[in-house]
A and B are shown apart, each in its own frame.
Chain A
Amino acid sequence: MQSLSPATLLVLVPLLPLAGAVLTLLLGRLLGSRAHLPAIAGIAAAAAVAVTLLLGTSNQVGSAHGPHAEPVRPVEMITTLWQWASVQDAYVPPEGSAAALPGTAVSGAGGAARAFTIPVALRLDPLTATLLAIITCIGLVVAVYSVGYMHHDPGYPRFFAVFSLFVFSMSMLVAASNFLVVYVFWEAVGACSYLLIGFWFTKPEAARAAKKAFLVNRVGDFGLAIATFLLWMTYGTLDFHDTLSPDGTILPGILGQTRLADAGGIVGGAVGTAICLCLLLAACGKSAQMPLHVWLPDAMEGPTPASALIHAATMVTAGIYLVARSAPLFMACPDALAAVSIVGATTALVAGLIATVQNDLKRVLAYSTISQLGYMFASLGTGTLLGFTAAIFHLVTHAFFKALLFLGAGSVMHSMGGVIDMRRFGGLRRIMPITAATFLVGGLALAGVAPFSGFFSKDEILATLHAKGWPNAHGEHHDAAPASHASLPLPPGEGRGEGAPATRLASLTRSPAAAPPAVLDTPETFRVLFWMSLVTAGLTAFYTFRAVFMTFTGPIRVPEEAGHHAHESPPVMALPLIILAVPSAIAGWWLFSSQWLAHFLTATPSFSAPAVTATAVPHAFHMDLAIQGTLAAAIGIVIAAIGHLGRRSDGPQMERFLGPLQTFFANRCYIDQLYAGLIVRPLEGLALLAALFDRFVIDGLVNGVARLPAALGGVVRRLQTGLLQRYALAGVMGVLAIVFVLAWRLRG
């Protein structure tokens, strides 16, 4: 593989699963029970390639320690596959807009027209390489597990075809280097998710859940579409990367190094905030953040492996990826950044609360996913380098342990004959020891118990929130921490290229008066968010161990659906559990102590913008925060143990002490009902009104007008032969007669 260029390898990562999907689709029926072979081969090969790429990129970035520990230079590689569309002279940037970035051909021509060009370009940088490796490796493990789980399902080939298609789409999503191409695969992963949620389409609940997921995601996509249009209007391009135009000048991309090196290159203000909020809406849809989180719990109607890969480990992190990728855009809009944190921490807390009273094991995990994604958003919204890397760090560890937990839940479900209600089984550790042990590892990681992986990533998130809430407590860096870097009072033109437009632009964007005071981005906000996150940590530990205790401890009980063959899952399912348990246990410790990931990610162009690197802090372990986090987790576990350890899971539950709150949370805070009452029903009513209006008013008018001649037509009834052809002929001939009369008169 060494002989292949990185560009070829990069293309292979999505291409191989695509080939697997197409082969499965074409040969599925022939292969029968071996229909998983093309898909697994494709994903396995892609995983190998992705790991190669990850190592190669890592070598390029260099080591965090040792002799080469110099400032990290951004690393990226772009390869363009084909031009998707191109419309010449589509856009003339207004004078002085950010599209006319100084030092380029555009400003030289004083707002020359620019083409609407969309290249299908793939990029390789540390962020992409990391995510590609996660997607393909976890995809591979889950695919192997599915061989056992989906065995005997009539839709076996269909499952692997869509699964493979998903891996392709997701790889393209994180590798795309253009907002439009991101949008394309943003919806493509949504379509794969739709097909997998509705996999058992004869179940009405599954069909409904699939539709719901797609529609809620469409609302998010609405945001992404508008953000894309605004970006196109503002920057005159949708590329992330810089492109070299034929005449040798550089056309700066939105997130290209030219623009990033230029502190005034990113638009802030009202437009910038609007763009960022639209991106946030999109991210909320895909990553199931409030208020668009309602689809994810219902998505559990799909097969459990799909839930593990798509609705826990990868697709739902697309929102995190989008915000992280757009970090420089958010850095210019401190309030939008704070909004990201607020949405994230609120979602984390609310979802954690709802999870505490769910009795469906997969639903507990679904709400837990929402909650953990909320953590990542809270971290991203701090707008610091540590915040961004911590979010990705948590994304990575979460991908391992949440996939593990879901596969464990699937293993339970497989053995219990499809039953997933925790009140109907118990004491399963004696029936399925491997599942129990690996589930426990996943649970410890999720609960944030040291030294399991979730502990370290969650600790970093708490640290970054804490640093924003109490800037003074973190030493000399607080002066760089306020995210309103865009308003740093640098003298116009300093540290930039030469040229008058540059100076003018800089003075426009960066003059101190230009930046309104931040409304949301205050230390007080982040203090509240920090405490919310800490409470969430306790809740996480509680609901995780509540689930562990209800499922695996207490007297052995098995539902009648399981029949007499409740057993440990076959090796093809158990092995993936063991494989995932290893990184769930140790990846956090390793990545934290070596700082490999944090250092590696720093070389991502989006994280190497001066605005971001200015917020860098030295790597440190915050003992005080670690103690607080561990304490929260310990309290949660202890309460869960008091309520559920060793008890029958169908007995009266401890949560009944919550009183009406239990009903409130068990009904998911009535958010679904709220949407039905506020949005869905009124729209349906409006639709009905529109249909009645259409039928009786518009069509009624048309019919009325049509009857008018007939009413007057008694006089000419003899002419009304009822033959339409004759009417038409008469009409045409009459018109022709008029023409020729007029024409002759003109002549004469």
Chain B
Amino acid sequence: MNGLTPGMHLVLVLVTPLVGAVVAWVLGSRGYAAVRQSAAVTALLTLMAAGWLVVRYLASPEAAAGQPYAVLTLPWLVDGMFDVRLSLGLDGLSIWLFGLSALLSLTAVLVSWEAIKERPVGFYVLLLVLEAAMLGVFAARDVILFYVCFEFTLVPLFFLIGIWGHDERRKAAIKFFLYTLAGSVLAFLGLLTIVLWNASHTGTVTFDIDALTAGLAAHPLPMNAEGGWLQMIVFLALFAGFAIKVPIVPFHTWLPLAHVEAPTGGSVDLAGILLKLGIYGFLRFSLPMLPDATALAAPWIFGLGVAGIVYGALVALVQTDLKRLIAYSSVSHMGYCVMGLFALEPVAVEGATLQLVNHGLSSAGLFALVGMIYERYHTRNIASLGGIASKAPWLAALFMLFTFSSIGLPGLNGFVGEFMILAGSFQRAWGGVSAAWRTAYLVMACLGVAGVVLGAWYMLWAVERVLFGPSREPPKGAGSGHTHNSGHDHSHDHGAHGHAAHAAATDDLAWHELAALLPLVVFVFWIGLVPATFLGPTAGAVRGIMQPSAQAFAARMEEAAVPAAAADFVSLQYPTPTP
């Protein structure tokens, strides 16, 4: 495939799921088996192509130089002052999320294997279209393509939830759609203002993100009363869209509902990728283009991140529905990303960027496992589950693993991001803020660390109740039983040769369930043990992106108060310095 130019390779990755969607549609008359097989093959091919592209990126000179790779530009309206092009490409910021989208799409198909037998054509077509949209968001290098893909992720998911969801699916789908759409329309207006501001100063209407960043660096949006605080207004417009997407507390209430009602495949994509779009948007637009407004808002959003960590964890603690509990854990974990991002400290921002991938892996894994539990026992109620470890040891082992990953056990992926975010936040609190802010920052950083304890609390509580203890689930077959469990035929293939006491271990994972999870497991360990592999390629891009905001923040903090932040620091160490 090396003969392929990188740009065409990227297009190939983007088009494969769409072609697969058409194939799945055509095969629709042959029954669900054919449809799901074609979807799996498509997702696998896309993953292979995307993975190969990632490898090519890592080996490319562009990656080493911090340049975008696989850039492909298609003129669309180039005429006079208009310089509108559709442009694609990957850089250090998007590369892992791009790969993660391809990876989780395969997971989403495989976890739907047995669960979706009604109207399979529509389901798999939408899933593949969603995959194309997710890949497109991360490959977009211009505002139009970004926004189209950003919005287009909503539509397939709306139908996935609304048609294949659970009891309250309609309400959940509508709430999800309208809430996020309301936010993203505001965000689009903000982006347009950026484009027009840039056009009015450079004389060229361009939607290219790099050009806009450069243009706004040269002519920043006004951040004062004469300019109408335009920069702040644009920042808030973007914030509306991205904060709802993340979601930042208190804009999160669509998330638990959407997750609980979504089919497992939809939850995997939603938690794994779509939540990342908000943080990705902040990184792409707010931080580099609106540094002064970012610097002004950073302490408050940092605080919202910390509030989200603690609040999400507390609410998770009293949930009775396993899926809802994990949804709230997502709120809490995305709080870490917000915290790290708005600490505006290199270690923290790189940690937050990595944490996007980490959370994608662990939450997707957990949602997939909850779906598998539901398929077996037809309930997600924590109180009516129990003792799954006796009946499905491999399922339980993987649930433990993803739990450990989620609560940041060192050696697994979650720890790396969490630790870097907190280390960077402490660094910010310690020496990077003015004296007036220091106490608040230190308290917030400590609360962030305390969130690690709370996070372990609710997850291990759930594990204790669901996996351990005596068997408690309702007898199998109590429900309609239509979807479950052809896994029986396969469960002996992978190690469930029972010991006498484990003779009941017939509920264990089927091959497609293992295949859905094992790739995630590989990355859980890889990122945990050698995070340098993943941090290295993002470092340069992230550093460039956060630079303007970090500088603006430092300037604010210096003018805000004492130039003696450093002197104060020293005197803290040595209470009475004597000459």
Interface residues in chain A, defined as those with a beta carbon under 8 Å from any beta carbon in chain B: 29, 82-91, 94-98, 116, 154, 180, 183-188, 191, 198, 201-204, 206-208, 210-211, 214-215, 218-219, 221-222, 225-226, 228-230, 232-234, 267, 269-272, 507-509, 511, 513-514, 516, 683-684, 686-688, 690-691, 694, 698-699, 702, 706, 724-725, 727-728, 731-732, 735, 738-739, 742-743, 746-747
Query: Interface 1/0s, chain B 422-437, versus A by CB < 8 A?
Result: 1110110011000000
Q: Which of B59-67, B103-111, B565-573 contacts A (4 or more CB under 8 A)?
A: B565-573
Chain A's closest residue to B540 (CB) is A88
Closest to A180 in B: B419
* Assembled-state Cα–Cα distance A89/B192 (Å): 35
A742, B502: Cα distance in complex, Å:
70
Q: Are B500 and A154 in contact (CB under 8 A)?
A: yes
Q: By the criterion CB–CB under 8 Å, are B181 and A731 in contact?
A: yes
Contact residues in B for A208 (Cβ distance below 8 Å) = 464
Closest 9 CB pairs of A and B: A184-B410, A207-B468, A154-B501, A229-B426, A201-B468, A687-B317, A699-B253, A687-B314, A94-B566
Chain A residues within 8 Å of B536, by CB: 86
- Sampled A-B contacts (23; CB under 8 Å): A86-B532, A86-B535, A95-B566, A187-B415, A191-B404, A202-B471, A203-B469, A207-B464, A218-B456, A219-B453, A225-B419, A226-B446, A226-B449, A514-B574, A683-B314, A687-B314, A694-B311, A698-B250, A724-B177, A725-B155, A728-B155, A735-B188, A746-B205
Query: Can you add 18 more A-B contacts, CB < 8 Å, to A85-B535, A87-B350, A225-B419?
Result: A85-B420, A87-B420, A96-B570, A97-B570, A116-B423, A185-B410, A186-B410, A201-B390, A202-B387, A218-B453, A226-B426, A226-B446, A226-B449, A513-B576, A690-B314, A694-B311, A698-B253, A724-B178
Question: Which residues from B are CB-within-8-Å of A727?
Answer: 181
Please tell me if the beta carbons of A702 and B570 are within 8 angstroms of each other in the complex: no
Contacts of A206 in B (CB 8 A): 468
Q: A88-B539, A229-B423 are in contact. Are A97 and B460 (CB under 8 A)?
A: no
- Whether the pair A225, B532 counts as a contact (CB closer than 8 A) is no
Complex CA distance for A514 and B575, rounded to whole angstroms: 7
Cβ contact within 8 Å between A706 and B423 = no
In the complex the two chains form, is A735's CB within 8 Å of B319's CB?
no
**B409: interface (CB < 8 Å):** yes
Question: Which residues in chain B, 326-348, are within 8 Å of chain A measured between CB atoms?
Answer: 346-347
Nearest CB of A to B196, in Å: 6
From the candidates B450, B468, B530, name the one contacting A82 in the complex (CB within 8 A): B530
Query: Hey, which chain A residues are within 8 Å of B155, CB to CB?
Result: 725, 728
Contact residues in B for A746 (Cβ distance below 8 Å) = 81, 196, 199-200, 205
Q: Which residues of A contact B318 (CB under 8 A)?
A: 684, 687-688, 690-691
Bound CA span A457–B438, Å: 47
Structural contact, A87 and B460, CB atoms closer than 8 A: no
A743 engages B196 (CB within 8 Å)? yes
Cβ contact within 8 Å between B570 and A94: yes
**Shortest Cβ distance from residue A189 to the other chain B in the assembled complex, whole angstroms:** 11
Q: Write the nearest CB–CB distance from A590 to chain B, whole angstroms.
A: 38
Bound CA–CA A219/B404 (angstroms)? 16
Bound state CA distance, A87 and B350, in angstroms?
8
- What residue of chain B has the Cβ atom nearest to residue A743's Cβ? B205
Distance in angstroms between the alpha carbons of A218 and B409 in the assembled complex: 10
Q: Is the CB of B468 within 8 A of A198?
A: yes
Q: Does B416 contact A (CB under 8 A)?
A: yes
Given contacts A187-B409, A508-B574, A746-B196, contact A233 B460 (CB under 8 A): no
| Among B415, B423, B578, contact of A184 (Cβ-Cβ < 8 Å) | B415
Q: How far is the CB of A203 from chain B (nearest CB, A)?
A: 8
Q: Are A271 and B199 in contact (CB under 8 A)?
A: no
Where chain B touches its partner, the secondary structure class is helix
Instruction: Determine if B532 and A85 form an interchain contact, defined as CB atoms under 8 angstroms apart.
Output: yes
| Distance, CA A514 to CA B175, complexed state (A) | 62
Residues of B within 8 A of A (CB): 80-82, 151, 154-155, 158, 174-175, 177-179, 181, 185, 188-189, 192, 195-196, 199-200, 205, 250, 252-254, 311, 314-315, 317-319, 346-347, 350, 387, 389-390, 404, 409-411, 415-416, 419-420, 422-424, 426-427, 430-431, 445-446, 449-450, 452-453, 456-457, 460-461, 463-464, 467-471, 495, 497, 499-502, 529-532, 535-536, 539, 543, 566, 569-570, 572-579
A232 touches which of B387, B411, B423 (Cβ 8 Å): B423
Cβ-defined partner of B315 (8 Å) among A82, A218, A694, A743: A694
Task: Kindly report which residue of chain B lies nearest to residue A732, judged by CB atoms.
Answer: B151
Number of A-B contacts (CB under 8 A): 229
| Smallest Cβ-Cβ distance to A208: which chain B residue | B464
Q: How far is the CA of A480 from the CA of B453 in the complex (A)?
A: 42
Bound-complex Cα distance A438 to B404 (A):
40
How many whole Å from B80's CB to the nearest CB in chain A? Answer: 7
Question: Of B420, B424, B431, B502, which one neighbours A94 at CB under 8 angstroms?
Answer: B431
A233 touches B431 (CB 8 A): yes
- Provide the bound-state CA to CA distance between A222 and B205, in Å: 52
What chain B residues lie within 8 Å of A116 (beta carbons)? 346-347, 420, 423
A514 lies within 8 A of B468 (CB): no
Chain A residue with Cβ nearest B530: A82
| Contact of A702 with B423 in the complex, beta carbons under 8 Å | no
The reply to whether A95 and B570 contact each other, CB–CB distance below 8 Å, is yes
User: Are B569 and A94 touching (Cβ within 8 A)?
Assistant: yes
Docked complex Cα distance between A84 and B534 (Å): 11
Residues of A near B530 (CB, < 8 A) are 82, 84
With contacts A684-B318, A687-B318 taken as known, whether A87 is within 8 angstroms of B431 at the C-beta atoms is: no
B145 to chain A, nearest CB (A): 14
Residues from chain B with Cβ under 8 Å of A684 in the complex = 317-318
Q: How far is the CB of B307 from chain A (nearest CB, A)?
A: 11
Q: CB distance B151 to A728 under 8 Å?
A: yes
Known: A29-B497, A187-B409, A742-B196. A89 touches B346 (CB 8 A): yes
Residues of A within 8 A of B350 (CB): 87
B404 CB, min distance to chain A CBs, angstroms: 6
Minimum C-beta distance from A212 to chain B (A): 9
A745: min CB distance to chain B, Å: 10
Contact A514 B578 (CB under 8 A): yes
Whether the pair A686, B470 counts as a contact (CB closer than 8 A) is: no
Contact of A225 among B347, B416, B449, B467 (CB under 8 A): B449
* A514-B576, A684-B318, A746-B199 known; A201-B469 Cβ under 8 A: yes
Residue of B nearest to A511 (CB): B578
Cα distance A89–B573 when bound, in Å? 23
Contacts of A96 in B (CB 8 A): 570
Which B-chain residue is minimally distant from A206 (CB atoms)?
B468
User: Shortest distance in angstroms between B202's beta carbon and chain A's nearest beta carbon?
Assistant: 11
Residues A222 and B570 in contact in the complex (CB < 8 Å), given A84-B530, A732-B151: no
Q: A188-B409, A188-B411, A732-B151 are in contact. Are A233 and B430 (CB under 8 A)?
A: yes
B residues within 8 A CB of A271?
572-573
Complex CA gap A116/B420 in Å reads: 10
With contacts A233-B431, A735-B192 taken as known, whether A214 is within 8 angstroms of B456 at the C-beta atoms is yes
Residues in B whose Cβ lies below 8 Å from that of A232: 423, 426-427
**A contact residues around B409 at 8 Å (CB):** 187-188, 191
Query: For the complex, what is the distance from the CA of A686 to the CA of B317, rounded to whole Å?
Result: 10
Task: Give Cα distance in the complex from A234 to B416, angstroms.
Answer: 21
- Given known A-B contacts A225-B449, A694-B315, A204 and B469 have beta carbons under 8 A apart: yes
Q: A87-B539, A95-B570 are in contact. Are A687 and B315 (CB under 8 A)?
A: yes
What separation, in Å, do the CA atoms of A228 and B430 have in the docked complex?
Answer: 13
- Do residues B532 and A83 form an inter-chain contact, with CB atoms below 8 A? yes
CB atoms of A233 and B427 under 8 A apart: yes
Q: Which residues of B contact A198 (CB under 8 A)?
A: 468
Contact A154 B315 (CB under 8 A): no
- Tell whether, in the assembled complex, residue A87 and residue B535 are in contact, meaning their CB atoms are under 8 Å apart: yes
Contact with A215, one of B457, B500, B539 (Cβ below 8 angstroms): B457
CB closest residue in chain A, given B446: A226
Per the bound structure, the CA–CA distance linking A309 and B163 in Å amounts to 55
A202 touches B390 (CB 8 A): yes
B577: contacting residue among A89, A270, A508, CB under 8 A: A508
Cα distance A377–B236 in the bound complex, in angstroms: 54
Bound form: Cα–Cα A401–B80 in Å: 88
